[in-house]
Structure 1
Amino acid sequence: MYRLPITLTAAAAAALALTGCAAGPAQHGFQVMKAAGSQTAPTPAGGQLAVGPGPTNYTVQPQPPAGSCHYRYTPAGEPLPDPRCTPGAISPKVTQDTLAHTVCRAGYTKSIRPPVEITRAEKRANAQSYSFTGDMADAEYDHLVSLVLGGDPNDPRNLWVEPPSPGHKPKDGVNNPKDIVENKLSAAVCSGRVPLADAQTAIATDWTTALDRLGVR
């Protein structure tokens, strides 16, 4: 099984610098937010995904300051989050050994999803973090590492206001091609074709290339 290189190449670092995302937290004027009870762990650039608190008694989480996060875009125009604000975070409850009782069990994600009154407030604040000015009904408050792949439900490092993809019809609601990627990776993980950690890292690094990187069709 192919494993992703996690350290940034020089070319990748240069690309991030061009988009304004390579600046450190001090240059942005904030520290990457961490949910209460979460563990300190390196971000993908440091070698692994952060570990959040997992399912808990959810409260509204603080977001980065307004204007401090910057979207990146692929050559095809698909949006990617700022890795300094949204590097991804995983739930400690979901591991390779617990798949059958967690993400591969019907109804699991519904049982651990934060209440809408929590995520609605966070979405508004995160839109300001990313300077998103579009129609909020057309943008998804997205788990970068999705719940079906063991992403942390409410760690602010794992959530971002994802703008509509190219070709999206305004006022047509959320229509997110990232969901297709998430579902295919989930099927690959639950069938044993792809290790959980590989799928998590691939989607946190770049959801638009995750399937190709892992050979999932």
Structure 2
Amino acid sequence: MNLVVVTAGLTQPSSTRLLADRLAEATARRIEEAGGAVEVRVIELRDLAGDIANTFVTGFAGARLRDVIDAATSADGLIAVTPIFTASYSGLFKSFFDVIGNDALVGKPVLIAATGGTARHSLALEHAMRPLFAYLRAIVTPTAVYAASEDWGGDGDATGVLSDRVARAAGELAGLLTRRHPAQNAPEAFEDVIPFEQQLAALRP
């Protein structure tokens, strides 16, 4: 299955990309543990800012942006991560999902996550990001992940609390994705099935 990660970090390196990578790794690991196979593609919106702006002006997406939109809309699942500015998602993040269209993510499993300088902005996940994807009729995981500056240890390591949230959210997304691919979890076919009439005959005296 295909998992697409959309990250709207503006700097390089960025804590937004760092969180996106942690979520993608954890989700892929859970899918593989369940016997599935997953291909992950990361989309850096920072590199597409000009393409997105041009789409609003011209009404047409260029080839590079069109390829990214196709990847996001055809993916089996999405991980969407944005920095929080002024208590909401970034303008670049919102603009990307504006150009995708209202019907492109219907029924698609999505894990939402965000980063910010302080934990005070964590509610932006619930009052801004979750309603956005509910409007797009995506299926959002119950657990959303927010990472403030204090949630990162030395060398970009996640603290225990953040690691727990990442693992829980990744498990929820992996569960949604594997349920959409039941063939991967189907039990092995029964061998030598005895017809019901034969079983009844064996019970007669």
Using structure 2 for the length normalisation, give the TM-score: 0.31
Task: Name whichever structure is richer in helix by fraction.
Answer: 2
Task: Name whichever structure is richer in strand by fraction.
Answer: 2
Structure 1 or 2, whichever has the larger Rg, is 2
